[in-house]
Structure 1
Amino acid sequence: MTVTSFTAGWTHRAPTGPFASADREQVPPVVVRLPHDALRDESRRPDVPGRGAGAYYPPIARTYSKTFDVPAGWEGRIVRLEVQGAYRRAQVFVNNEFAGNRADGYARFFVDMTPFLRFGQPNEVRIEVRAGEDSRWYAGAGIHRPVLLHVDEPVHIAPDGVTVTTVRIEHDQAVVDVVTKIANRGLITRTVRVATRISDEHGAQVEGDESPATVPPGDVILVRQRLYIPQPALWSPSSPALHTADVSLAGSDDVTVTFGIRTVTVDPRKGLRINGEAVLLRGACIHSDNGPLGAAAIGRADERRIELLKAAGFNAIRAAHNPASIALLDACDKHGMLVMDEAFDMWTRFKTANDYAADFPQWWAADLASMVTKDRNHPSVIMYSLGNEIVEVGSGHGAGWARRMAEHVRDLDPTRLITNGINTFLAVVDELPSILEAGGGALNEAMANPEEGFNAISVSDAVTTRIEESSATLDVLGLNYADARYAVDREQLPHRIIVGSETMPSAIGRLWPMVIENPHVIGDFTWTGWDYLGEVGIGATAYAEDPDAVPGLEREYPYLTAWCGDLDITGWRRPLSFYREIVFGLRAEPYIAVQRPEHHDHTIAGRAPWGWSDSISSWAWPGYEGRPVTVEVYADADLVALLLDGDEIARAQIGTDRPMIAVLETEYRPGVLEAVAFTDGVETARTTLATPAEGVALSARVDRSVIRDTDADLAYVEIELHDPADRLVTSADRAVTVEVSGAGQLVGMCSANPRTEERFDSSTWRTFDGRALAVVRPTGVGAITVAVSADGLAGLSLHIDVAAQ
């Protein structure tokens, strides 16, 4: 087997042909390197059909094309295209002949190009995609994940044909099964020898086996080999040791897969255990977009996100609401991040005008198989989710769909848990009026607040009855915004195991003790761990004094992001992230956040339950000297004292309104602000926040000084405004320009500003709270120079080396 990257040399343009408008023929194609998002650089408008759900981007259609040579020596071999994700309704043509298609924009699929190839000459492959009003968030458009070319001998290991499963772990060894699927596309029976070698995390061979296999023409067989690995290093979130299995057919067909040796068990008394050790899921829901890159799933972007989420205290992610990319799973394997991979956002009922519900009845089984075969060698994946907030789960026929899907997944992979993210409100939405009437005034009053309303509905008899059957098909019941069921189910349904599959971020101080106290609840996944494009402003604070604010959940143009992540789209941790870390028990030091004083006397017209206070960690508010300001201190303590330049200016109990938070009123004066935490009258910890000194300078750092010339690598340049003491200056924002020369190009730039008309393909962005981010992609081996400049400030240069693959 030969597998090569097939990401270079593509072009994209608006569709052309006999039925296209004449002006489209005049638009030249644009050369791109995959993965690529064609929608990202389109102009946003307030009047597009999808409005804020899709970040005000328009619907588009695109044609991707590539010409490649097919050697004469390939005749007699099987040539396949592996498309890891093309959004959406992709159609693949080879030499202008239809060769395959896929409706789901996140499904990985293979196209057999063999019948359409012209050997010994150039060939063309074309992929058509179209997107619009098919998602409740920004999904992009284009070939947003890698494409690979497979060239196989007639007798070969099938794609996704090697599966490694941990059978058991003993005190001195691990037992694993290696199952290899071998296909014979030739005309004669062949006998091959299947050789398997297992190597440990250091690359040393620790086990192996070899056996013959006879494969008749047109047949596909399975070869099972049971191997015994002595004293293996186990994979876990704290110690993610990885092994490899190399499988070859008589030395001619070689496949290498990475795996981890670990066991996953769950029960309502002992909860989730990995290798026998109890684990609570400190989870983050994340969308698939990569901020300034749009929907492009470039490997380094996915890995950086996992690194930063892990550093912020998370040990699990939920891939909401579509299967994760291979690059993301590789990063989770490497860094010890647990994964709930999710299949669908809808089944048979539409949530948007043109979404996957139209395709689900025909494609569900194939798309589930695509997710499972992609995932089942990844030790990080511990749960498959069948869907998110599926309305059908409240009916018997919907439960039938859940059962069919669950058993299909178990046939493909019996080793992992199955869940479903159920929104109990939606499960009974058809009988909501009668539920409200039965609940009386208290329930109607609760409905004024989404968090309280969802919870009040969740414990109704109607919910208990209507989700019972579909929930019984699962290993773990995922509950979205229904934590009131935790205690109810512990008593009424003692065999039910629950995960908080989607929860309000601001409620973590209340929710995490519930997870700790209830062994049948195995974790919490906040919405969201990382900010994302679309569903604009669902976490933003709306002020009545803002003349542009539009009442409602979705905010007005030019809002760009949801503004509800613990980390913003640049990867910078927002105050809520540090609060969560304290709640998790992972941070002893207090944290200071300050509500923006320009809104101190404003009326909050709306604060979505997915939001946090409008605050940042800054004591730099020029122009507000002597004016009132609200300070938040997060700490696991009883009391906090606030000092300014050593003098106490305020004192407050912690936890009065929300666990582990004190809110203090004072006046702003420059200086050193200090928070001192006390428990039982004894100081336990303190932290400081200082006003920056006079003078502002540009600061920039690159995440890695050496990158590789691959389609998966990037360099991230973090740009900040600093004072002479190298402290961040949040109050002097200005436009910053980035120029890239040498063996790389600027492929994206942004700030964390949730409300902006700036473009990701621009080389100039205004900093937001003192920060901006630039992303550089290699274009060849050599050196890259990144020049950063801003009016009135001294410019600077960074150097990045690009090594060969």
Structure 2
Amino acid sequence: MKRIIVLLLGLWMMSCSQQQANLQREIDFNFDWKFTLVEDTLPPNNVPLADQDWRDIRLPHDWSVEASFDSTLEGCVGYLPGGVGVYQKHFKTPVDLEKQNVFVLFDGVYNNATFWINGKKLGVNPYGYSPVYYDLSSYLKTNGEENSITVHVDHSRFADSRWYTGSGIYRNVKLITVDKLHIPIWGTFITTPEVTKEASKVHLQIELENNYTTDQNVEVVTSIVDAKGTELSKATSNTSLKSNQRNKITQDFTVKSPKLWSPESPTLYSALTQLKVDGKVVDEYSTPFGIRTIEFKVDEGFYLNGENTLVKGVCLHHDAGLVGTAVPLGIWERRLKLLKEGGVNAIRTSHNPFSKEFLDLCDRMGFLVQHELFDEFDYAKDKRQNFHDRHSDYATRGYDEHFQQWAKSDLQRTMRRDRNHPSVFQWSIGNEIEWTYLHYRYITGFYTDPKNPNKNKGFFGKPPMFTPEELKVRYDNWEKGEYILAETAKKLNDWVKEMDDTRPTTANLIIPQVSHVSGYADAVDIPGYSYRNVIFPWTKKYFPNTQVTTNECPGTWDDWKQVLEYPGVFSIFMWTGIDYIGERNERWPEKSAWGDMLDLAGFKVTGWNYFKSIWKDEPHISIGTLPLKKSGFKAHEMSGLPVAKNKGSYKWRNSNWHWNYKKGEKVLVEVTSNYATVELLLNGKSLGYRSMSDSPGRIMRWVVPFEEGELVARAKFGKEETVATLKSAGKPSQFTISADKKQLKADAYDVSHIVFQLKDKEGIPVKTEDVRVTFEVEGNAKLLGVDNGAWTNIQDFQSNTLTTSQGRALTIIQTTKEAGDIKITAKAEGYPDQTINLKSTH
């Protein structure tokens, strides 16, 4: 009898398991694609295409980063090419189409993409940053033959952006299979309208769709569960849908003693929704969410969960060095971890929507996200030189040509995908759009030369020269173009509010004094300024009821002081947190720049130490050095103290993290710290103290004639002492390789960063000499590429060999689906080979 019971129980569990397997909505659709580059920009007439000679690839894929840097190409996109590519994949119909529907979901294709299934055109999507999906159900084969999905990607206008975009299907692709009675893709919207320590109200809007030929009665059951899967609240609704009807229902829940989402404690919950027909589950949908409150007050700033919160933000572009824009999640995870350790708690997605995967990571790691939608509206920016467009060549034509037709659809699809993320706390409709409406700059009075529209008389460093009343008169009297910026902005803002009225809108204003009188600033909830800190007193005087903040800035102590001195100003977003490819017009061999905290390889730079000393409460001290003659300082003739040549010299800059110069050479030593007083010592001899109060820009400086040995900066608070050291390195005699992860998942996604560093016989890093290094990989992994982080590194990313920078290099390896041992060997002429062993498991 026991055996019968056990057997029946086992059969029941197998049945439940099979039912659960059949309800898997998402299938990873990234593998087993074919790819080729083509010459013709016109989409093919007859598809599918013969692809037996094409490359076998897996997605995500960025074909531009596979190429060599070329000085004859465009610096705006990092001297890498675009082109036209075609992707194709063959697959069998995975479900019974009498009962189920099949969709394909592309999270991002750059750009001008056309899609077919079995030769039937599904549609197009010009914007490279918006997700798009198509219903394949009517076109799939039911006779057991393979289907063919074809994607034509036209990035022949390869310089269509002011930064590197990548080319191809560079984000994830999913195949979605659902019952004909189902919750549509992005079909839920969850909010937390009331939150206290005792309880939180949770409001869930659920869309339902019935594609059966008959009416359907459905029971909708939703459970709120925590990270451990414990059910905290439950709701059940009953409704009916007519054939081919889409409808919405709402459910409300109470979560007792909620754990609130914040950067310090990014607690997540899930709303698990089941659709049942006659007791049988026909669809399941999971909606991850966080419980938190956001509030913005004009004279007080930003409140997260009732606490005044300062937004310590960075702007980021969506590429990541050697992988281009097809960025494995582990690379973003490593980079965001370093940013967080440096004090960052917010990210601005400059200047376009990022991937779903990226926002999922921000949810889990605890980053606030200012979600930006567009860089161009009605008129084009100049891709090579920024500001308004001064070129008309084919290669630089961009999204402005699609904006009128596609902006609403792109915005709505993106927001439907992203509005449940607790990390998203603002929607930004656009970036520095005023440049493309020429009259805005002339109205300021700082721009006066129509023959040279970018020539100005101190625009960025001076407050407005007119009152708002005077500016309004000038605006009203100035000739305008076909499109009015304030009207376009209001239209965008209205579209955002239709999708989500729980978060404020913003825009990054570059000419705010005019935007405040034209109606542009009034179109959004919280105008953000771009490099216009000097205007805050003027705004507070004339627009006391308007909350403003900083959406983009260079990233200096002066920028952060605005947040501390003006209570309503709650944020900075420095440009940028991490190096990015592009925006280097006519600067060959520079192909990247402007990473304030991490370079293109993800290595820390001086700004990481600088902002950690400002943003983190934990004790911090660090040392940087520069040859005095290149530092912007000189030594005082009598005291020997450093004297700045101009005010700009006081700002932080990338300095050397070594103590190796010519004997007697004068060196500027810069110390960043959050201690009030720091002492500097060379070989045990004190070189004196510097205090924070006497150090402009919060950087303490000494002029030190170089002497080989050990440089020490130390500070004390009570009995606690914090020390930073730099030791002179000898000649390189060895190198080491290290891995950030040694235990990996055999899922064909997981990555490990392998760092090479030259060292002397004592193990001190040698940062003044370089060597050519070759990496070899054995086992179940592939090498994604190599980099050294330098702006001027124009060696191929897609290689296994390169010359180091600062004696350092990076390679990234990625697992395959097969588990096993992985061995990485680094080789450099004149040095013994070094190996490191990793392991991947299922």
> TM range, normalised to the smaller chain?
0.7 to 0.9
Structure 1 residues 612-691: aligned runs within 5 Å: 613-621=653-661, 624-636=662-674, 640-649=678-687, 658-676=696-714, 686-691=723-728
Write the distance in 2 (CA, Å) between the matches of 1:155 and 1:334.
31
Whole-Å separation in 1 of the counterparts to 2:789 and 2:597: 12
Partner of 1:544: none
Contact 1:9–1:33 (8 Å) recurs in 2: yes
The match for 1:40 among 65, 71, 85 is 65
Alpha-carbon shift at residue 756 of structure 1 (Å) = 2.1
Change (3 A) 1:689 1:610: closer
Q: Is the 8 A contact 1:670 1:691 kept in 2?
A: yes
Corresponding residue for residue 560 of structure 2: 512
Q: Say whether residues 1:795 and 2:833 are aligned partners.
A: yes
C-alpha separation in 1, matches of 2:620 and 2:633: 31
From 550, 575, 578, the counterpart of 1:527: 575
Q: Distance in 2 between matches of 1:356 and 1:605?
A: 44
Choose 108-117 or 60-69, whichever is displaced more: 108-117
CA distance in 2, matches of 1:638, 1:416: 39
Match of 2:304 in 1: 274
Root-mean-square deviation (Å): 2.9
Aligned to 2:637: none
SS of equivalent residue, structure 1 residue 618: coil
Aligned ranges 1:701-780 → 2 under 5 Å: 701-710=738-747, 712-780=749-817
Q: Which residue of 1 aligns with 2:115?
A: 92
Q: Which residue of 2 aligns with 1:113?
A: 136
Query: Does 2:27 align with 1:4?
Result: yes
Instruction: Evaluate the alpha carbon distance shift between residue 611 and residue 514 of structure 1 in structure 2; reply closer, same or farther with a 3 A threshold.
Output: closer
**Alignment partner for residue 323 of structure 1, among 311, 335, 353?**
353
Mapped partners of 1:172, 1:276: distance in 2? 14
Answering whether residue 485 of structure 2 is matched by residue 401 of structure 1, we say no
Which residue among 48, 65, 77 is the counterpart of 2:100?
Answer: 77
**Separation in 2 of the partners of 1:601 and 1:480?**
26
Question: How many Å separate the matches in 2 of 1:415 and 1:72?
Answer: 38
String of CA shifts for 1:735-788, please: whole Å, max 9, x gaps. Answer: 121111211100121111110221111101222113211111122221222222
CA distance in structure 2 between the partners assigned to 1:259 and 1:339 by the alignment: 14
Q: Which amino acid counterpart does residue 708 of structure 1 have in structure 2? A: K
1:332 aligns with 2:355: no
Does 1:61 pair with 2:84? yes
Q: Within the alignment, does 1:570 sit opposite 2:601 as a pair?
A: yes
Correspondence for 2:150: 126
Aligned-residue offset at 1:74: 3.3
Question: Structure 1 length as normaliser, TM-score?
Answer: 0.87
Q: In the comparison of the two structures, how many residue pairs are matched?
A: 741
Secondary structure of the structure 1 residue equivalent to 2:592: coil
- 1-side partners of 2:261 and 2:182: how far apart? 30
In the alignment, the residues of structure 2 paired with residue 736 and residue 658 of structure 1 have an alpha-carbon distance, to the nearest angstrom, of: 41
Partner of 2:517: 465
Q: SS of 2:570's equivalent?
A: strand
Corresponding position of 2:180: 154
Change (3 A) 1:577 1:45: same
Counterparts of 2:43 and 2:431, CA distance in 1? 37
What is the Cα deviation at residue 258 of structure 1? 1.1
State the 1:14 CA deviation: 1.1
CA separation in 2, counterparts of 1:363 and 1:18?
A: 21
Runs of 5+ consecutive residues of structure 1 not aligned to the other structure: 425-457, 537-553
Letter in 2 for 1:215: L
Give, in angstroms, the shift of residue 324 of structure 1. 1.5
In structure 2, what residue type is equivalent to 1:337?
F
Amino acid at match of 1:569: L
Letter aligned with residue 322 of structure 1: N
CA contact (8 A) 2:529 2:552 kept: yes
Shift of 1:303: 2.2
Deviations 1:56-105 (A, max 9, x none): 11231111111111257335532111000000111111122211211110
2:463 aligned residue: none
1:336 deviation in Å?
0.8
Moved more, 281-290 or 29-38: 29-38
Shift of 1:638: 6.0
Pair 27,212 (structure 1): closer, same or farther in 2 beyond 3 Å = closer
Decide whether the 8 Å contact of 1:183 with 1:220 is kept in 2: yes
Query: Could you tell me which of 45, 54, 79 is aligned with 1:29?
Result: 54
Q: Render the CA deviation track for 1:208-246: whole Å, top value 9, x for unaligned.
A: 112212111121111211011111211111111111111
Q: 1:487 to 1:587 in 2, by over 3 A?
A: farther
Per-residue deviation at 1:188?
A: 1.0
Letter in 1 for 2:290: G
Distance between the aligned counterparts of 1:79 and 1:285, measured in 2? 37
1:661, CA displacement in angstroms?
A: 1.3
Give the Cα separation in 1 of the matches to 2:299 and 2:497: 23
- Aligned counterparts of 1:269 and 1:607: Cα–Cα separation in 2: 31
1:213 to 239, 260, 275: 239
Q: Aligned AA for 1:618?
A: H
1:616 maps to amino acid? N
TM-aligned CA distance change 1:71 to 1:381, over 3 Å: closer
**Contact in 1 for aligned 2:197/2:258 (Cα 8 Å):** no
- What do the CA deviations read for 1:534-576 (whole angstroms, capped 9, x no partner)? 113xxxxxxxxxxxxxxxxx45222121243321122221112
User: Bigger CA drift: 695-704 or 2-11?
Assistant: 695-704
Offset, 1:501: 0.7
> What are the Cα deviations for residues 652-671 of structure 1, in whole angstroms up to 9, with x where unaligned?
56566732113322222211
Alignment of 1:247-326 (within 5 A): 247-250=273-276, 251-326=281-356
Question: What's the counterpart of residue 501 of structure 1?
Answer: 551
Residue 463 of structure 1 deviates from its aligned partner by 5.6
Q: Note closer, same or farther for the CA distance 1:20–1:185 as it changes in structure 2 (3 Å cut).
A: closer
Q: Which amino acid aligns with 2:803?
A: R
* Equivalent of 2:527 in 477, 482, 488: 477
- Quote the offset at 1:44 in angstroms: 2.1
The range that moved more, 524-533 or 154-163, is: 154-163
Structure 1 residue 617 displacement after superposition: 1.5
Distance 2:677 2:130 in 1: 52
Judged with a 3 Å threshold, the aligned counterparts in structure 2 of structure 1 residues 66 and 36 are, in CA distance, closer, same or farther, namely same
User: Following the alignment from structure 2 to structure 1, what is the Cα–Cα distance between the partners of residues 82 and 596?
Assistant: 26
Q: 1:192 aligns with which of 218, 228, 243?
A: 218
CA separation of 1:564 and 1:400: change in aligned 2, threshold 3 A: same
Q: 2:507 is matched with which residue?
A: 420
Q: Which has the larger radius of gyration?
A: 2
Q: Secondary structure at the match of 2:701?
A: strand
* Alpha-carbon shift at residue 172 of structure 1 (Å): 1.7
Change (3 A) 1:39 1:18: closer
Task: Return the alpha-carbon distance in structure 2 between the equivalents of residues 160 and 672 of structure 1.
Answer: 58
Return 5+ residue gaps in structure 2 as ranges: 1-22, 384-395, 441-479, 635-643
Q: Output the CA distance in 1 between the equivalents of 2:633 and 2:196.
A: 63
Given that residues 606 and 654 in structure 2 are in contact (C-alpha distance below 8 angstroms), is that contact kept between their aligned partners in structure 1? Answer: no
Q: Supply the distance in 2 between the matched residues of 1:17 and 1:34 (Cα, whole angstroms).
A: 23
Alignment-derived partner of residue 640 in structure 2: none
Alpha-carbon distance between aligned partners in 1 of 2:267 and 2:713, rounded to the nearest angstrom: 40
User: What's the counterpart of residue 781 of structure 1?
Assistant: 818
Moved beyond 6 Å, runs of 4+: 16-21, 24-27, 600-611, 681-684
SS of aligned partner of 2:333: helix
- Would you say the 8 A contact 1:532–1:565 is kept in 2? no
Moved more, 70-79 or 1-10: 70-79
Q: Distance in 1 between matches of 2:671 and 2:39?
A: 59
Matched residue of 1:793: which SS?
coil
**Partners of 2:427 and 2:649 in 1: how far apart?**
27
Q: 1:498 offset after TM fit, Å?
A: 1.9
Closer, same or farther: CA 209–653 of 1 in aligned 2, 3 Å: closer
CA contact (8 A) 1:533 1:560 kept: yes
Q: Determine if contact 2:749/2:816 at 8 Å carries over to the other structure.
A: no
Distance 2:109 2:51 in 1: 25
Instruction: After TM superposition, list the pairs within 5 Å mapping 1:227-242 onto structure 2.
Output: 227-242=253-268
Paired position in structure 1 for 2:541: 491
Q: Give me the whole-angstrom Cα distance separating, in 2, the residues matched to 1:598 and 1:733.
A: 23
